[in-house]
Structure 1
Amino acid sequence: MLVTKQPVFQRFWYPVIPVEQLADGPQAFELLGQPIVLWLDADGKPAAVRDRCCHRTAKLSLGKVNDGKLACAYHGWEFNGSGACVHVPQSKDGSISPSYKVTAYHCTERYGYAWVCLGEPLMDIPNIAEASDPSFRLIHEFYEPWNCAGLRVMENELDLAHPTFVHTTTFGSEEHPTPDFVEVTETELGIHVSATLGVVNPALQKQNLKMEDTITYRTLDMDWMMPFTIRLRINYPNGMSHIVVNTMTPINDSTSQMVQFCLRNDTEADTKASDVIAFDRAVTLEDKRILESTDYDVPLALNAEEHMFTDKPGIVIRKKIAALLKAHGEVEQTNHTYANDISLSSRSEVSETRVKQLI
Structure 2
Amino acid sequence: MLTTQQPVLRRFWYPVIPLDNLLSGPQSFTLLEEPLVLWIDENGQPAALRDRCCHRSAQLSKGMVKDGCVRCPYHGWQYNSSGTCVDVPQLDAGAAIPKTYRVEAFPCVERYGYVWVCLDNNPLQPIPEIPEFADSNFRFIHEFYEPWKVGGLRAIENSFDSAHGHFVHASSWGDMSNPQPPPIDDVTETDFGFVMKHWLEVLNPDLQKKNLGIAAEKTIRTNTRTWYMPFARTLKIQYPNGLEHLIFTAYTPIDDQHSQVVQFCLRNDTETEAKAADIIAFDRQVTAEDRVILEGTDYDAPLSLAEEQHMASDRPGILMRHRLAKLLKEHGETEQRRSGASASSAMDKILEEAVIA
Normalising by the smaller structure, the TM-score range is: over 0.9
Instruction: Report whether the alignment pairs 1:100 with 2:98.
Output: no
AA aligned opposite 2:292: R
Instruction: Report whether the alignment pairs 1:3 with 2:3.
Output: yes
The corresponding residue for 2:20 is 20
1:263-283 alpha-carbon deviations (Å, 9 max, x no partner) = 100111111110100000000
More displaced 10-residue stretch of structure 1: 305-314 or 86-95: 86-95
1:277-334 alpha-carbon deviations (Å, 9 max, x no partner) = 0000000000000000011111001101000000000000000000011111111122
Tell me, yes or no, if the aligned pair for 1:160 and 1:178 is still in contact at 8 Å. no
AA aligned opposite 1:10: R
Tell me, yes or no, if the aligned pair for 2:16 and 2:116 is still in contact at 8 Å. yes
Displacement after TM superposition at 1:59 (Å):
0.6
1:101 counterpart SS class: coil
Tell me, yes or no, if the aligned pair for 2:19 and 2:114 is still in contact at 8 Å. yes
Displacement after TM superposition at 1:339 (Å):
8.2
Displacement after TM superposition at 1:357 (Å):
7.3
Corresponding residue to 1:143 among 142, 145, 148: 145
AA aligned opposite 2:214: M
Displacement after TM superposition at 1:154 (Å):
1.1
The corresponding residue for 2:356 is 358
Seq. identity, %: 53
The corresponding residue for 1:289 is 292
Corresponding residue to 2:133 among 123, 131, 134: 131
TM-score (norm 2): 0.95
Could you tell me which runs of 5 or more consecutive residues in structure 1 were left unpaired when the two chains were aligned. Answer: none
Aligned counterparts of 1:257 and 1:44: Cα–Cα separation in 2: 25
The corresponding residue for 1:232 is 235
The corresponding residue for 1:222 is 225
The corresponding residue for 2:161 is 159
AA aligned opposite 1:109: E
Aligned counterparts of 1:336 and 1:165: Cα–Cα separation in 2: 33
AA aligned opposite 1:221: T
Aligned counterparts of 1:357 and 1:15: Cα–Cα separation in 2: 30
More displaced 10-residue stretch of structure 1: 93-102 or 176-185: 176-185
Tell me, yes or no, if the aligned pair for 1:176 and 1:197 is still in contact at 8 Å. no
TM-score (norm 1): 0.94
Tell me, yes or no, if the aligned pair for 2:160 and 2:225 is still in contact at 8 Å. yes
Displacement after TM superposition at 1:356 (Å):
3.6
Instruction: Report whether the alignment pairs 1:116 with 2:117.
Output: yes
2:107 counterpart SS class: strand
Aligned counterparts of 2:136 and 2:57: Cα–Cα separation in 1: 46
Corresponding residue to 1:211 among 195, 214, 233: 214
The corresponding residue for 2:55 is 55
Displacement after TM superposition at 1:217 (Å):
1.0
Q: 1:357 to 1:33 in 2, by over 3 A?
A: closer
Aligned counterparts of 1:67 and 1:339: Cα–Cα separation in 2: 48
Aligned counterparts of 2:142 and 2:337: Cα–Cα separation in 1: 34
Aligned counterparts of 2:109 and 2:269: Cα–Cα separation in 1: 29
More displaced 10-residue stretch of structure 1: 166-175 or 238-247: 166-175
The corresponding residue for 1:280 is 283
Instruction: Report whether the alignment pairs 1:90 with 2:94.
Output: no
2:313 counterpart SS class: helix
Tell me, yes or no, if the aligned pair for 1:64 and 1:70 is still in contact at 8 Å. yes
1:290 counterpart SS class: helix
More displaced 10-residue stretch of structure 1: 154-163 or 311-320: 154-163
Note the 1:24-35 alignment, pairs <5 A. Answer: 24-35=24-35
Tell me, yes or no, if the aligned pair for 1:176 and 1:198 is still in contact at 8 Å. no
2:109 counterpart SS class: strand
The corresponding residue for 1:191 is 194
More displaced 10-residue stretch of structure 1: 129-138 or 74-83: 129-138
Q: Which runs of 4+ in 1 moved over 4 A?
A: 336-340
Aligned counterparts of 1:40 and 1:178: Cα–Cα separation in 2: 49
Displacement after TM superposition at 1:90 (Å):
1.1
Instruction: Report whether the alignment pairs 1:170 with 2:172.
Output: yes
Displacement after TM superposition at 1:186 (Å):
1.3
Q: 1:117 to 1:337 in 2, by over 3 A?
A: closer
Displacement after TM superposition at 1:93 (Å):
2.7
Tell me, yes or no, if the aligned pair for 1:178 and 1:310 is still in contact at 8 Å. no
Aligned counterparts of 1:239 and 1:335: Cα–Cα separation in 2: 47
Aligned counterparts of 1:200 and 1:36: Cα–Cα separation in 2: 43
Aligned counterparts of 1:87 and 1:336: Cα–Cα separation in 2: 46
Displacement after TM superposition at 1:54 (Å):
0.4
